[in-house]
Structure 1
């Protein structure tokens, strides 16, 4: 069995002009939400075997906060530029390429790709994954490359903890 947690990056800022989208930072609210969600999840689900993040600043900063609160070594955080995509294609490829030695993984990515992925691979329809939202899906398959429709067992958002 494989367990996957998908995290949409926390709330980012649009107030900086002249920077590329990939470089947008988190807002203060995003930083607080990332701490809130990661502290809650660390108590509830334990630490996933591998952490993988988009290279976008906002996703990477979210992942770093989760690493801190899960006590996951930053040196082991995997950064994938291809996750800076707004379709589910690279998310699927990233999941399929995970080492089968990992039974659980947490991936930090972006809006549209996440929404498509969780509805395609989970068994509960989700209309919108908000910033710093976390979706957990369990798969019966033994190999990440073979995942099919799984069971959505976690749908959680920062608003549920405020």
Structure 2
């Protein structure tokens, strides 16, 4: 069995002009939400075997906060530029390429790709994964490359913890 946690990056800031989208930072609210959700999860679940993040500043900052609260070594955080995509194609490829030695993974990515992924691979329809939202899906397959429809067992949004 494989367990996957998909995290949409926390709330980012639009107040900086002249910077590329990939470089947008988190807002203060995003930082607070990332700490709130990651501290909650760290008490509720076993630490995932691998943490993988988009290279976008806002996703990477969210992942670093989760690493801190899960006591996961930053040196083991995998950063994948291809996750900076707004379709689920690269998210699927990233999951399929995970080492089968990892039974659980947490991936930090972006809006549209996450929404498509959780609805394609999970068994509960989710209309919109909010910023810093986490969706957990379990798969019966032994190999990440073979995942099909899984069981959605967790849907957590910051607004439910305030």
Normalised by the length of structure 1, the TM-score is 1.00
Q: Deviations over 1:57-93 (max 9, x none)?
A: 0000000000000000000000000000000000000
Q: Distance in 2 between matches of 1:131 and 1:117?
A: 15
Matched, 1:160 2:150: no
Q: Deviations over 1:115-158 (max 9, x none)?
A: 00000000000000000000000000000000000000000100
Q: Distance in 2 between matches of 1:18 and 1:47?
A: 38
- The Cα of 1:8 is off from its aligned counterpart by 0.0
The match for 2:19 is 19
Q: Distance in 2 between matches of 1:34 and 1:47?
A: 16
Q: Distance in 1 between matches of 2:26 and 2:43?
A: 24
Q: Distance in 1 between matches of 2:73 and 2:79?
A: 13
The match for 2:142 is 142
Partner of 1:132, secondary structure, is: coil
- The Cα of 1:46 is off from its aligned counterpart by 1.8
Q: Distance in 2 between matches of 1:82 and 1:72?
A: 22
Partner of 2:26, secondary structure, is: coil
Q: Distance in 2 between matches of 1:12 and 1:137?
A: 25
Q: Distance in 1 between matches of 2:59 and 2:53?
A: 6
Partner of 2:153, secondary structure, is: strand
Q: Detail structure 1 runs of 4+ shifted over 4 Å in the superposition.
A: none
Normalised by the length of structure 2, the TM-score is 1.00
The match for 1:107 is 107
Q: Distance in 1 between matches of 2:152 and 2:46?
A: 17
Q: Deviations over 1:103-123 (max 9, x none)?
A: 000000000000000000000
Gaps of 5+ in 1: none
